[in-house]
Amino acid sequence: MPLSAPLIEMRGISKSFGAVKANEAVDLSVAPGEILGLLGENGAGKTTLMNVLFGAYAPDAGEILVQGKPVTINSSADALAAGIGMVHQHFHLAPRLSVLENLLIGISGRSGRIDRAGGLARLGEIGRQHGLTLDPDLPVSALSVGEQQRLEIVKALFRGARLLILDEPTAVLAPTEVDGLFAALRSMSAQGLGIIFISHKLNEVRALTHRCVVLRHGRVAGRVDAPASTTSSEMARLMCGHEIVPPARGPSTPGAAVLTLEGISTSGHAGTPLRDVSLFVRAGEILGIAGVSGNGQRALADVISGVRAADAGQMTIAGKMVSRFSPREVQALGLGRIPEDRMTTGLVTNLPLADSMVLPRIGTGAFSRNGLLKPDAIRAFAEAQIKAYDIRCPGPMTRAGALSGGNLQKALLARELAFDPKVLIVSQPTRGLDIGAARFIHEKFLDMRTKGCGIIVIGEDLEELLMLSDRIAVMYEGRIAGTLASADATVARLGLMMTGAEGTA
């Protein structure tokens, strides 16, 4: 446990972007061997504060001390020289280069030569110490997201970081990978490394950190000295400024099946293919799909969304057979889709938000006629949804990419729900969202359920699935390993089925 003088200290840090005060008079310190949790809702200023520490932004006021001495950090090179390493939310890796080459970028010996052998040795050493093993010769593009993150951590250690900043590292990880990450972080902390761990998942913070700083609207809203013995609801109150109650799932009588899959199999393409998948969702019912990611969830979502055709099997939507598997066909039959990856398959970040909001229905009478767009209708639609869903943005012509994750997710939800889908398929609906935004999304799903929509939620967060679903199907290696009524499902039982250990038809 930490006892010694602080490794780094930030005093009175303020940073504004125009009128937005991202950080205001923030104090924070980390001691050697300490894991500090940095908590806060989206937009609370966590990333900005860490970017100041890492030299990406110059603070408007305040100072940074490293081992008691004031320092000026103007670049990431300065930060690294001061022993500060950061793993960003979006990784900074060269995808075509190998693991080892990525480690050695920017590091060369005095003669300008690259020390491959030395790098290899250090890589092995770091891997053994903290359980962060990586194949040095694999190209980064072949690594999973979890492995890329591991490489980012190793990179920071390789450069001699004594303080490691991790910006929402678990947002991209599967539950099993989270365990591995925590083990590595604990091992580093035991060796005297300071760690700043950003998250808004309270159970993670409680399990891992020694101390917490909670930010709200750029200010320190509270400090928690013993996270393990503080309740989640107390911390949630600090983060949001008010109580958060999970929405209640009332009873509902499911109607006829609105989506059925019969013996669907796929082949080719990336990812795990589907093998003889049969399932159904009824009107007014939420079906959860649990499973460790990479067990065919992507293929399942793609087939249902009409992006990938099934090689065998049949699918019906609202009683009608899907014949061609195109996004337009399934949409015309009444399917709404909220993609897993908002930025890549959902929105067009460089175009106005309004364009993304009408994208899937641009060819329909609502937004165009005889090949001519209806700009007024598009604008009015976007404005109405922005209002109805309280999407925080300057207006429908704002670049979609400028919105925060929670607001983007609301926009995607709005664009689908506006057309009263009979079936809704969503993947990881609240990944990366804070408690307030997640709560809003959950409420909308439950509303839709009451209104008679059939919903499939693909997710890895078992607690979320248990809260939302009427039934939960578990995917394992491209098959449905079993389906449970949510009354019979527990985290433990689902967890077992997800490893392929138990099957219940």
Partner 1 sequence: MFRLEARTSTPAWFNLALPLLAIGATLVLCSGLIALAGAGVIEAYGVMFSASLGDSYAITETLVRAAPMIFTGLAVAVAFRAKFWNIGAEGQLLAGAVASCAVGAIPMPGPLAMFLMAVAGAGAGAAVALIPATLRVKFKVDDVVSSLLLNSVIFYALMALIEGPWKDSFSGYPISPPIEESANFPVLLEGTRLHLGVLAALIAAPLIWFLIVRTTLGFRIRVTGENPEAARYGGIHVERVLISTALLSGALAGLAGVGEVGGVHFQVMSDISPGYGYSGIVVAMLARLNPLGVVPAAIFLAAVMTGAEAMSRATGVPAFLSEVIQGTALLAMLVALLFTAYRIRRVGAAR
Binding mask 367-396 for partner 1 (x = CB under 8 A): -x--xxx-x------------------x--
Nearer to Mg ion among residue 47 and residue 427 (C-beta): 47
Nearer to partner 1 among residue 228 and residue 373 (C-beta): 373
**CB under 5 to 8 A by kind: which of Mg ion, partner 1, ligand ADP, none does 45 bind?**
ligand ADP
Chain centre distance of CA 479: 25
Where does this chain touch partner 1 (CB under 8 A) — which range of 53-61, 106-114, 271-279, 379-387? 53-61
Residue 96 near partner 1 by CB under 8 A: no
Nearer to Mg ion among residue 434 and residue 470 (C-beta): 434
Backbone φ/ψ region at 428: left (φ over 0), alpha (ψ -120 to 50), beta: left
CA dihedral 365, 366, 367, 369 (to 10 degrees): 20
Where does this chain touch partner 1 (CB under 8 A) — which range of 99-107, 137-145, 205-213, 342-350? 342-350
**CB under 5 to 8 A by kind: which of Mg ion, ligand ADP, partner 1, none does 58 bind?**
partner 1
Rounded to 5 degrees, φ, ψ at 169 are -65, -30
Helical packing angle, 405-417 and 375-388, nearest 10° = 120
As measured in angstroms, the least distance from the Cβ of 327 to partner 1 is 4
Nearer to Mg ion among residue 47 and residue 98 (C-beta): 47
Q: Where are the beta strands (DSSP E) in 113-237?
A: 163-166, 194-199, 211-216, 219-224
Residue 98 near Mg ion by CB under 5 A: no
d(CA 89, CA 84): 16
Residue 404 near Mg ion by CB under 5 A: no
Q: How far is CA 183 from CA 30, 131, 208, 267, in A?
A: 20, 8, 9, 36
Nearer to partner 1 among residue 14 and residue 252 (C-beta): 14
Residue 78 near partner 1 by CB under 8 A: no
Residue 429 near partner 1 by CB under 8 A: no
Number of C-beta neighbours around residue 379 at 10 A: 16
Residue 307 near partner 1 by CB under 8 A: yes
Number of C-beta neighbours around residue 411 at 10 A: 25
d(CA 155, CA 87): 9
Where does this chain touch partner 1 (CB under 8 A) — which range of 149-157, 208-216, 365-373, 461-469? 365-373
Which contiguous run of DSSP H or E holds residue 153? helix 145-158
Binding site for ligand ADP (CB under 6 A): 17, 20, 22, 40, 42-48
Contact 436, 240 (CB under 8 A): yes
As measured in angstroms, the least distance from the Cβ of 286 to ligand ADP is 29
Helical packing angle, 175-190 and 116-130, nearest 10° = 100
As measured in angstroms, the least distance from the Cβ of 299 to partner 1 is 14
Q: How far is CA 157 from CA 29, 150, 170, in A?
A: 20, 11, 19
User: Using CB under 8 A, which residues numbered 164 to 223 contact partner 1?
Assistant: none
In the β-sheet with 320-321, what is the strand arrangement from edge to edge?
A: 277-282, 257-265, 312-317, 320-321
**CB under 5 to 8 A by kind: which of Mg ion, ligand ADP, partner 1, none does 43 bind?**
ligand ADP
Residue 432 near partner 1 by CB under 8 A: no
**CB under 5 to 8 A by kind: which of Mg ion, partner 1, ligand ADP, none does 326 bind?**
partner 1
Binding mask 10-49 for partner 1 (x = CB under 8 A): -------x--------------------------------
d(CA 97, CA 94): 6
Contact 37, 202 (CB under 8 A): no
**CB under 5 to 8 A by kind: which of ligand ADP, partner 1, Mg ion, none does 170 bind?**
none
d(CA 462, CA 494): 8
Nearest of 225, 258, 405, 417 to residue 338 by alpha carbon: 417
Nearer to Mg ion among residue 410 and residue 471 (C-beta): 410
Nearer to ligand ADP among residue 103 and residue 165 (C-beta): 165
Nearer to ligand ADP among residue 350 and residue 370 (C-beta): 350
Nearest of 418, 423, 308 to residue 359 by alpha carbon: 418
Largest CA distance in the chain: 74
d(CA 185, CA 60): 32
| Among the listed residues 15, 28, 45, 47, the single contact to Mg ion using CB under 5 A | 47
d(CA 202, CA 205): 5
Residue 351 near partner 1 by CB under 8 A: yes
Where does this chain touch partner 1 (CB under 8 A) — which range of 119-127, 304-312, 442-450, 455-463? 304-312
Number of residues that bind partner 1 (CB under 8 A): 41
Taking the alpha carbons of 313, 315, 320, 321 in that order, is the dihedral positive or negative?
negative
Nearer to ligand ADP among residue 47 and residue 430 (C-beta): 47
Which residues of this chain interact with partner 1, rule CB under 8 A? Answer: 17, 57-61, 72, 74-75, 305-307, 326-328, 331, 337, 339, 344-351, 355-356, 359-360, 362-363, 368, 371-373, 375, 394, 398-399, 402
